[in-house]
Each structure stands twice: as structure tokens, then as C-alpha cells.
């Protein structure tokens, strides 16, 4: 049980945010017009390590049809610890749904939980009716089912999770992986999808009550145990010297920003929330806020062991705040004289400089109600029922995200992509398309959002307790001409 933190600091605010030393790119955008539906010769999808793949029940090569069940499951988190969790199809993380760009995905969803839920497809630019937003879709009641049916427009590493009592349901284990493969995706020796989560759990495998303590209201629920791909154990796998792998990383934690590094191998960042980067970049430390994804390319130059760490601030015996490294995954690399394969970087079609049509501000704040409850607000409103903004399809909007209150807020917008604009600070120097961005305490971040997907879209803080306590709103994109 080496992954229990000795003494945790509740605040992710205290996380050392070195930022990613990455290079800034011009505004990028996926060009949809090139995604034609040429009758595909059957593209063989790579196997992805990290969770079982969901079986495709439909023989049509362009339709992925699967059955997904949310259920109560006793999960063995390690040899010594079982816990009563929620899972999709009995597995933590939930199974991988694999598709190709342009595929139709049909998900027969069955809710076997004792409570209502929905499934949200985080990052996918699909129709809002299929987005799992309880503002649009009536939650699927206990024992009921629902058919999700959508077309996946862009390649990338996505994930799915509920959007009802989200802080509890995700913490209990309801999250899974969805990968959309592009036609030009580079080939690797192996692909892995790692979920890097933390949960709050006691020695008996019980999850303490939700939203009962002030630190949880303030900073979100940070855990005392790290779960890599659903296990308290270090994830172990084998590789060969000279192998080059693609790792897709997602942080499904309620609140904790992960700060990742690798030893014994080299890596570079090749993809973000919105798919492959035009230009991969090197970094030592990868900051992975909740909700976000990064794809990294890992090269094993030497035999031996490669280790993935996350760095956490803890208190030492003298009550000093120090950074400690926790091991998440370990590759045993056998010796070989093979040279690392040369990855020919595809021509990622993203460039599309667009004129900004509108500028807006979203302010993140907190207040106490008269009864003493904590409310987190977006532009002064908690759980606003009216949209924050109404835009028109095709609008390009510069949005300034102003964090006026304490801890960091990972801002997430459903159904659209945005880029983070460089404003001179290290931590905004992030290329690529995003659906989530970290807005550090008392700081401002500027994004440019490409509102190309009409509908009603949730906009919220992905610290799930903040969202639950009010930091949740909606942006409307009206259909254009
Ligand atoms: Cu991960 Cu509202 O989303
Ligand atoms: Cu989402
Ligand atoms: Cu927040």
C-alpha cells in the first residue's frame, strides 16, 4: 500500500506549478471539411492497454455499437483492499470505446445503479442532446436505459463520465475511455491509456461522506490514495529497448492537478484534448489538471526500468511542505539492439487563423450564503439557469477567465474546442486544442473559443465539488446560416 500519502495537503493550490515549457503556436483549428466519408477500407485499430475494449456488436465497419452498464461493483484496488464502487461494465476504469473519425457510435446504456445518472462524452463535439447534460437530457433513472447515438468528428483521446451528482459518481469510479483514431495516426510499438486518479478512502475500503468538510468545499475532494488505471498498485508492463509508445493520459480525479515526470525513458507531448499537435514538444514536467488529456510519445533508449511519477506536496515530519514523488507506472525494458522507430509526423490539419468576433469575461468567485453555505460562482451566479452567453455558430470568441477566489479552477466547456492564448506567463504557454484549461488562483487566462457546434453547452469548473456548489453554467450557440 505504498501509494497512500503520509500526510496530504488538501489544497491543490499548493501544487508546485512549474508550467510546461512548451512552445506557443498560432491559432490552430481542425479543418472539418477534410473528413470525408470515403468508404473506408477496414482500418485496423491498435490494441490499447489500460482497460478492456468494449465489444463492437455491429458488423458495419463504420458503426460502433456497444452496451454500457453502470453498476455497483466490489472492486479490488490492491491485494489488501476491496471497495464498493460504481463501475461501467464491472471495470475500473470503464472499458475503452474505440472508433475511427466519422464513425457512428451507438451506446446502449443501462443504468443498474440505485440512482439516476447520465453519460457525458467529455471533449467530443457531438450534438447537445447526446451530451449527457441533465439540463437537456432527463437523467436515466435507476433500472432504466438510454440510447446514445452520435458521430465522432475528430481523432483524439476522450473520456466519458456521468453528469448527475458528478462529484460522488466519478469518485466512486464511473469513468471510462473513448479513443477516436485518425487515418494518419502514427503507428507505435504499443498504445496505452492511463487514468491517473486519486481517491479518498479509509483502511476498510470505505469512502468518507461527500461534501461534509470545509476543505472539500474549498479545494474540492483530494484523495489520500493514487489510483493508476484503477489500481493502488504501480501499473506494470513490459517493453523492449528501442520501442516507441503512445501513452494517452487522463486525470479523472475530483480536484487534484497531477504533476508528472518520467525517468528511464524520454518523452515528448504529441497531443492534447483536441487531438494530435501540429508540432510535438519536449517537457520535463507535465501538468495534468482534472478533465484534461495529454498524449505523450515515450521512447525507451535503454534497457532497465522506466518510471512514471506524480509529484505531490505533502507535509514532512517537521510539518514543512515538501514535494514528494509517487510512482504510478513502471515499464521493464528488456535489452534489444533495435533502433527506435522513426515516427514520421503526419501533417496535422489544424491551422485556421480566425478573426475574433467577440470578447467576453468569465469571473470565478466564491461567497457565503446567509445560512453559511459555500457557493462558487461564475459571473456572480451559482448554478445559473440562464446562459452565461449566447453566441452564433461559427463565432470566434476571446474569453478572459478571471480567477478572483483562492484555489485553481480548471475551466471546462462542453462541445467546443479552444486554444489558450499566450499572455506572457509560462503556464498559459500551451499549444493545441483544449476543452479544459487550468486557471490558477488569482490569475487570468485568455482563451479563444471556436463556437462551431450549435447547442446548449455546459461551462463549468471541473473541480467537481465547485461545480456541484454552483460553478456551473451554460453557453448557448445558436445555429448559423
Ligand atoms: Cu468532464 Cu461537464 O465534464
Ligand atoms: Cu465535458
Ligand atoms: Cu473551481
Per-residue pLDDT tens over the stretch 371-385: 989 999 999 999 999
Q: Which atom of ligand 1 is nearest to the CA of 458?
A: 2
Per-residue pLDDT tens over the stretch 288-298: 999 999 999 99
Q: Name the percent of the chain lying above pLDDT 70.
A: 90
Q: Ligand 1 in contact with 466 (CB < 6 A)?
A: no
Number of H helices and E strands in the chain, helices first, is 3, 31
Neighbours of ion ligand 2 (CB under 5 A): 122, 414
Q: Ligand 1 in contact with 455 (CB < 6 A)?
A: no
Per-residue pLDDT tens over the stretch 115-151: 999 999 999 999 999 999 999 999 999 999 999 999 9
Q: Ligand 1 in contact with 402 (CB < 6 A)?
A: no
Q: Ligand 1 in contact with 409 (CB < 6 A)?
A: no
Q: Which atom of ligand 1 is nearest to the CA of 467?
A: 2
Name the pTM for this structure. 0.91
Q: Which atom of ligand 1 is nearest to the CA of 163?
A: 2
Confidence of residue 239 (pLDDT cuts 50, 70, 90): very high
Q: Which residues contact 444 (CB under 8 A, 6 or more apart)?
A: 400, 401, 402, 403, 423
Q: Does residue 63 contact residue 461 with C-beta atoms inside 8 Å?
A: no
Per-residue pLDDT tens over the stretch 320-363: 999 999 999 999 999 999 999 889 999 997 757 789 999 999 99
Q: Name the percent of the chain lying above pLDDT 90.
A: 84
Closest ligand to Cα 163? 1
Q: Ligand 1 atom 3: the closest Cα is on which residue? A: 122
Q: What is the DSSP letter of 470?
A: T
Q: Ligand 1 atom 1: the closest Cα is on which residue? A: 122
Confidence of residue 12 (pLDDT cuts 50, 70, 90): very low
Per-residue pLDDT tens over the stretch 152-190: 999 999 999 999 999 999 999 999 999 999 999 999 999
Please give the full DSSP string across 274-287, using - where no structure is assigned: TEEEEEEEE-SSEE
Q: Tell me how many degrees the CA angle 326-331-337 measures, rounded to the nearest 5.
A: 145
Neighbours of ion ligand 3 (CB under 5 A): 409, 461, 463, 466
Q: Does residue 446 contact residue 423 with C-beta atoms inside 8 Å?
A: yes
Q: Which atom of ligand 1 is nearest to the CA of 123?
A: 1
Q: How many CB atoms lie within 10 A of CB 95?
A: 21
Cis peptide before 93 (omega within 30 of 0): yes
Per-residue pLDDT tens over the stretch 421-433: 865 566 556 899 9
Please give the full DSSP string across 277-339, using - where no structure is assigned: EEEEEE-SSEEE-TT-EEEEEEE--SSEEEEEEEEEEEE-TTS-EEEEEEEEEEEEEE---PP
Amino acid at each position: 500500500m505504498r501509494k497512500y500519502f503520509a500526510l496530504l495537503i488538501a489544497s491543490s493550490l499548493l501544487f508546485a506549478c512549474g508550467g510546461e515549457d512548451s512552445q506557443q503556436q498560432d491559432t490552430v483549428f481542425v479543418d472539418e471539411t477534410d473528413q470525408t466519408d470515403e468508404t473506408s477500407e477496414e482500418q485496423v485499430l491498435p490494441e490499447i492497454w489500460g482497460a478492456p475494449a468494449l465489444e463492437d456488436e455491429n458488423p458495419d465497419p463504420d458503426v460502433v455499437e456497444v452496451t454500457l452498464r453502470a453498476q455497483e461493483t466490489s472492486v479490488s484496488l490492491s491485494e489488501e483492499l476491496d471497495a464498493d464502487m460504481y463501475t461501467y461494465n464491472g471495470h475500473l476504469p470503464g472499458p475503452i470505446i474505440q472508433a475511427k473519425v466519422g464513425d457512428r457510435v451507438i451506446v446502449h446504456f443501462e443504468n443498474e445503479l440505485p440512482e439516476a445518472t447520465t453519460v457525458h462524452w467529455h471533449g467530443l463535439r457531438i450534438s447537445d442532446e447526446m451530451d449527457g447534460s441533465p439540463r437537456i437530457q432527463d437523467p436515466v433513472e435507476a433500472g432504466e436505459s438510454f440510447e446514445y447515438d452520435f458521430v465522432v468528428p475528430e481523432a483524439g483521446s476522450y473520456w466519458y463520465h456521468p453528469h448527475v451528482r458528478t462529484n460522488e459518481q466519478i469518485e466512486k469510479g464511473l469513468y471510462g475511455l473513448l479513443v477516436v483514431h485518425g487515418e494518419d495516426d502514427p503507428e507505435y510499438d504499443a498504445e496505452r491509456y492511463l487514468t491517473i486518479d486519486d481517491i479518498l478512502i479509509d483502511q476498510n475500503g470505505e469512502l468518507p461522506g461527500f461534501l461534509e468538510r470545509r476543505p472539500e468545499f474549498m479545494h474540492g475532494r483530494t484523495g489520500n490514495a493514487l489510483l493508476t488505471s484503477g489500481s493502488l498498485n504501480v501499473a506494470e508492463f513490459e517493453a523492449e529497448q528501442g520501442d516507441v509508445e503512445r501513452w494517452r493520459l487522463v486525470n479523472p480525479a475530483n480536484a487534484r492537478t497531477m504533476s508528472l515526470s518520467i525517468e528511464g525513458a524520454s518523452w515528448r507531448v504529441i497531443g492534447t484534448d483536441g487531438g494530435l499537435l501540429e508540432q510535438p514538444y519536449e517537457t520535463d514536467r507535465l501538468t495534468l489538471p482534472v478533465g484534461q488529456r495529454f498524449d505523450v510519445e515515450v521512447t525507451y533508449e535503454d534497457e532497465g526500468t522506466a518510471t512514471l511519477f506524480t509529484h505531490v506536496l505533502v507535509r514532512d515530519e517537521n510539518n514543512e511542505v515538501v514535494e514528494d514523488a509517487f510512482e504510478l507506472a513502471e515499464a521493464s525494458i528488456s535489452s534489444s539492439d533495435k533502433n527506435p522507430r522513426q515516427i514520421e509526423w503526419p501533417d496535422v490539419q489544424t491551422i485556421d487563423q480566425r478573426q475574433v468576433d467577440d470578447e467576453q469575461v468569465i469571473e470565478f468567485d466564491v461567497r457565503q450564503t446567509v445560512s453559511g453555505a459555500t457557493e462558487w460562482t461564475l459571473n456572480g451566479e451559482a448554478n445559473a439557469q440562464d446562459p452565461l452567453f449566447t453566441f452564433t455558430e461559427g463565432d470566434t470568441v476571446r474569453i478572459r477567465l478571471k480567477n478572483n477566489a483562492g484555489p485553481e479552477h480548471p475551466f471546462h466547456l462542453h462541445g467546443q474546442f479552444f486554444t489558450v492564448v499566450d499572455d506572457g506567463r509560462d503556464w498559459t504557454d500551451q499549444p493545441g486544442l483544449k476543452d479544459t484549461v487550468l486557471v490558477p488562483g488569482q490569475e487570468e487566462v485568455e482563451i479563444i473559443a471556436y463556437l462551431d457546434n450549435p447547442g446548449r453547452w455546459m461551462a463549468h469548473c471541473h473541480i467537481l465539488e465547485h461545480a456541484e456548489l454552483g460553478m456551473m453554467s451554460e453557453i448557448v450557440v445558436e445555429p448559423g446560416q
